[in-house]
């Protein structure tokens, strides 16, 4: 009798478990820091979109797609903003957007995870590993983290800016993304 009941219960379970869908909320930030002659210079991407499929119990189904409007980059100084729009830097006219698309997630413990994927920026692609923390409360969640990348992988700062004498090669990125659960139809 017990085996029959267990068998019936198993039949009622869904065939596969699917990670939850999340969409970026308004309280989200994507910021960066570069260096100019050793001094930290902050910046931010004012407009970006995050679509996340994530459940810590189903990491094999997890994915993230982040699309960044590069033309909305702000370094808090109009002269710098005008300069980074040009071909030696972000080249807004040719490459108005960047994307990060994941292809794997790993649990690190204590609400920390690692996403692996590819960033496409200014026509160049590079593999990244991005550590992040995950917090969820009902229909709201938050991912946050920081990582570094080398700007020369993406030909950011070409020509006279290719060396690290004035502008450092490493760029630190920081994100804090609020998320709303997306209801799905059964």
How confident is residue 9, by pLDDT bands cut at 50, 70 and 90? very low
Contact 41, 77 (CB under 8 A): no
pLDDT surpasses 80 at 81? yes
Please answer whether residues 45 and 73 qualify as being in contact, where contact means their C-beta atoms are separated by less than 8 angstroms.
yes
Fold of 19-179: Lipocalin (2.40.128)
CA distance 122 to 104: 23
CA angle 150, 44, 27 (to 5 degrees): 125
Number of neighbouring beta carbons within 10 Å of residue 130: 21
CB 22 within 8 A of CB 181: yes
147 — pLDDT class (breaks 50, 70, 90): very high
Distance of alpha carbon 61 from alpha carbon 6, whole angstroms: 26
pTM: 0.87
Tokens of 132: 């992040």
Domain limits, the chain: 19-179
Q: Tell me the average pLDDT across 135-160.
A: 95
Token pair in block for residue 155? 């030909």
């Amino acid at each position: 009798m017990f085996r029959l009941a267990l068998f019936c219960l198993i039949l009622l379970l869904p065939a596969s478990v699917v990670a939850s869908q999340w969409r970026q909320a308004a309280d989200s930030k994507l910021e960066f820091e570069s260096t100019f002659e050793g001094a930290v210079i902050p910046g931010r991407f004012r407009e970006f979109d995050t679509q996340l499929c994530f459940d810590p119990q189903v990491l094999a189904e997890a994915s993230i797609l982040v699309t960044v409007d590069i033309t909305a980059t702000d370094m808090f100084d109009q002269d710098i903003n005008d300069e980074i729009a040009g071909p030696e830097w972000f080249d807004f006219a040719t490459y108005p957007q960047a994307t990060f698309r994941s292809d794997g997630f790993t649990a690190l413990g204590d609400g920390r995870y690692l996403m692996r994927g590819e960033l496409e920026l200014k026509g160049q692609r590079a593999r990244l590993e991005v550590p992040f923390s995950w917090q969820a409360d009902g229909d709201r969640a938050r991912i946050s983290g920081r990582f570094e990348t080398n700007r020369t992988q993406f030909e950011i700062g070409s020509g006279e800016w290719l060396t690290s004498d004035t502008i450092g090669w490493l760029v630190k990125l920081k994100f804090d993304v609020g998320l709303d659960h997306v209801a799905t139809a059964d």
